């Protein structure tokens, strides 16, 4: 069973009074993360069948990133965002399931904790997917408040503290929940802003808005049924655009748009093994694959007066870069007691030219490596999804395959035979990287009474049921 959960440990008014006002230079931050949305699913990224005027505002009024990387599935990308580290480094290199009893380790230092310590009011709305037990509750990882979804069953029911069960649901992506999530985001922004004005403070906020859309099953809000030229999937993306519009309109109404950095991106590419799926645009394949369509996603950033309007960034950037970038914005210190894979890309946001680029290489540990415009497959890469369903025309590529992404973003032509020295260079870069990576791994978190052995037993039990 799945439940929508409304968690407020105390009122926001009480939370806001706990900290002194920060310097006005610290911006509010809204980070919007969608679920399984492809590179080609927005008007500003080339879609002709889906209208996204609100999201397009972020593009025309801010910066469009063309090489923004995540992991190829839900939980790993969310762990990477929270920690600034490759997901495998945190032990979360696969999807976190409720029956396994694991999640984001309480010893991890999250972006929410760093911002909270730097004077921010922190709130989350939407899909967590980093553990469904009390130890992994977002309010135990730096968030003052959480309104969203946990996965629950008879094992986990009743183990959460300070939770109000609003209603039982069968599908968290059902459009009937969009108004509730949208309003929760609006309420958070309004309450923090109003409290600041009442107290004469300038306390910034961090809102992590994780929409569960457009993950299957696609059940759009009735107002959006038939609204797009791309069927039900497009209807749901336009519903996301409406959610984003509510947040942007609230910033305008409160007069704080210029004080707020808004970031919009997706957790991985589209799920292609279902009829009516989304689009990876010019990129190859989608979710679950380490081809570009699985790990390169749309990303837009707007901060009026700071980020040049209508600008485009073609350099490599990644979701792991958010933590050090947010630290630079908030005067927080990047943790030094562990390896942080992310880099501070604030210079890009401010329109500065950086030579050499801040990030010349993006690695999917042990699988693929991009260095500049070159990409090498270190392991065989398969199309995303299980079984043969939806894989017609989608093929695998063997280890040792080399692509030149600037000339061939669709990864159609292996050029390894023409550039053997480049293959050799990238293989060595991966070997060097993996030595440091494997020497600095951190464990996944376990709920009380669970272990790796018990999780394996749970996996086998679930497969037997299917």
Q: How far apart are CA 442 and CA 106, in angstroms?
A: 11
List of residues 6+ apart from 419 with CB closer than 8 A: 374, 402
Lookup result for tokens 């210029």:
258
Q: How far apart are CA 32 and CA 25, in angstroms?
A: 22
Q: How far apart are CA 243 and CA 391, in angstroms?
A: 32
Token duo for residue 304: 């009026």
Does residue 404 carry a catalytic annotation? Answer: no
Residue pair 112/208 in contact by the 8 Å Cβ criterion? yes
Helix (H) and strand (E) counts in the chain: 11, 17
Q: How far apart are CA 303 and CA 39, in angstroms?
A: 22
Does residue 129 carry a catalytic annotation? Answer: yes
**Which of 5, 109, 136, 127 has the alpha carbon at shortest distance from 73?**
127
Token duo for residue 377: 């497959």
Widest CA span in the chain:
67
List 86, 129, 215, 277, catalytic entry: 129
DSSP string, 22-89: --TTSPEEEEEEESS--TTSSGGGT-SS---HHHHHHHHTSEEEEEEE--SSHHHHHHHHHHSS-GGG
List 59, 74, 299, 327, catalytic entry: 74
List of residues 6+ apart from 184 with CB closer than 8 A: 125, 147
pLDDT in tens, the chain (466 residues): 444 444 443 333 333 333 333 344 899 999 999 999 999 999 999 999 999 999 999 999 999 999 999 999 999 999 999 999 999 999 999 999 888 899 999 999 999 999 999 999 999 999 999 998 888 999 999 999 999 877 654 444 433 333 333 344 457 888 888 999 999 999 999 999 999 999 999 999 999 999 999 999 999 999 999 999 999 999 999 999 999 999 999 999 999 999 999 999 999 999 999 999 999 999 999 999 999 999 999 999 999 999 999 999 999 999 999 999 999 999 999 999 999 999 999 999 999 999 999 999 999 999 999 999 999 999 999 999 865 555 667 999 999 999 999 999 999 999 999 999 999 999 999 999 999 999 999 999 999 888 888 888 877 776 776 6
List of residues 6+ apart from 131 with CB closer than 8 A: 96, 102, 103, 104, 445, 447
Domains of the chain, CATH where assigned: 2-359 (3.40.720.10)
Residue pair 324/347 in contact by the 8 Å Cβ criterion? no
Using only C-alpha atoms, the chain has a radius of gyration, in whole angstroms, of 21
């Amino acid at each position: 069973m799945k439940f929508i959960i409304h968690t407020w440990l105390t009122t926001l008014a009480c939370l806001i009074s706990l900290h002194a006002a920060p310097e006005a230079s610290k911006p509010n931050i809204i980070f919007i993360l969608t679920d399984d949305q492809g590179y080609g699913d927005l008007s500003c990224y080339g879609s002709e069948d889906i209208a996204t005027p609100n999201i397009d505002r972020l593009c025309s009024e801010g910066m469009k990133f063309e090489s923004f990387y995540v992991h190829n599935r839900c939980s790993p990308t969310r762990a990477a965002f929270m920690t600034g580290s490759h997901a495998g480094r945190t032990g979360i290199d696969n999807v976190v399931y409720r029956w396994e009893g694991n999640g984001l380790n309480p010893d991890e230092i999250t972006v929410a904790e760093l911002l909270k310590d730097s004077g921010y009011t922190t709130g989350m709305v939407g899909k967590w997917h980093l553990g469904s037990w009390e130890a992994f509750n977002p309010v135990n990882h730096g968030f003052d408040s959480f309104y969203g979804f946990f996965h629950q069953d008879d094992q986990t029911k009743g183990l959460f503290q300070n939770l109000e069960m609003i209603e039982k649901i069968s599908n968290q992506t059902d459009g009937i929940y969009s108004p509730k999530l949208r309003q929760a985001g609006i309420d958070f922004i309004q309450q923090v802003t109003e409290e600041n004005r009442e107290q004469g403070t300038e306390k910034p906020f961090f809102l992590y808005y994780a929409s569960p859309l457009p993950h299957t099953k696609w059940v759009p809000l009735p107002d959006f049924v038939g609204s797009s030229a791309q069927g039900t999937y497009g209807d749901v993306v336009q519903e996301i655009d409406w959610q984003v519009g509510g947040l942007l309109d609230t910033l305008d109404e409160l007069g704080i748009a210029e004080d707020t950095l808004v970031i919009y991106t997706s957790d991985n590419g589209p799920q292609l093994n279902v009829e009516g799926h989304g689009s990876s645009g010019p990129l190859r394949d989608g979710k679950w694959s380490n081809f570009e369509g699985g790990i390169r996603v749309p990303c837009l950033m707007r901060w009026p007066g700071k980020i040049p309007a209508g600008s485009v960034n073609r350099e490599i950037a990644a979701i792991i870069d958010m933590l050090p970038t947010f630290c630079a914005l908030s005067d927080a210190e990047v943790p030094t007691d562990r390896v942080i894979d992310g880099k501070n890309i604030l210079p890009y946001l401010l329109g500065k030219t950086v030579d050499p680029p801040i990030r010349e290489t993006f690695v999917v540990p042990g699988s693929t490596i991009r260095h500049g415009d070159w990409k090498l497959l270190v392991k065989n890469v398969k199309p995303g999804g299980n079984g043969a369903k939806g894989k017609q025309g989608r093929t695998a590529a063997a280890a040792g395959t080399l692509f030149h992404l600037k000339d061939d973003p669709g990864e159609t032509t292996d050029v390894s035979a023409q550039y053997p020295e480049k293959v050799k260079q990238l293989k060595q870069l991966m070997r060097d990287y993996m030595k440091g990576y494997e020497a600095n791994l951190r464990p996944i978190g376990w709920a009380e009474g669970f272990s790796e052995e018990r999780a394996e037993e749970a996996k086998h039990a679930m497969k037997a049921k299917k």
